[in-house]
Amino acid sequence: MLGTSWGASAEQSAEALGVNATAVAATCVLESGCQNVAGTGSITGAFQMTTATFQSSLAAALAQDPALVADIVPGTAGQSDPATEAIAAAEYLNRERSR
């Protein structure tokens, strides 16, 4: 993930949310090889998130750290932006860790 143009931003966002950046990077590698690819249905992006999961996770991340709004691509286009999707993925991992 760090070898991508958006990797450093993803790492900083994960750390801002209290999530291990290595876990976010591993998720990216497992889901898509850190390639911003389309999946099936509403699944897309480097983290292969559904639209619903992306939207709810991004909203939760921004509620936790409103300063992250400066780092996102707003709207549905954000799901296709790896740096924005990384913020949602980090929050998703954060919620799963808390279960």
| 38 three-class SS | strand
What confidence category does residue 98 fall into, taking pLDDT thresholds of 50, 70 and 90? Answer: confident
In this structure, which amino acid lies at residue 60? A
Residue with tokens 């929050």: 91
Return d(Cα 32, Cα 47) in angstroms, integer: 7
Q: Each residue of 1-29: pLDDT tens digit?
A: 989 999 999 999 999 999 999 999 999 99
Residue 82: predicted pLDDT: 96
Considering the entire predicted model, what is its pTM?
0.94
pLDDT of residue 43: 94
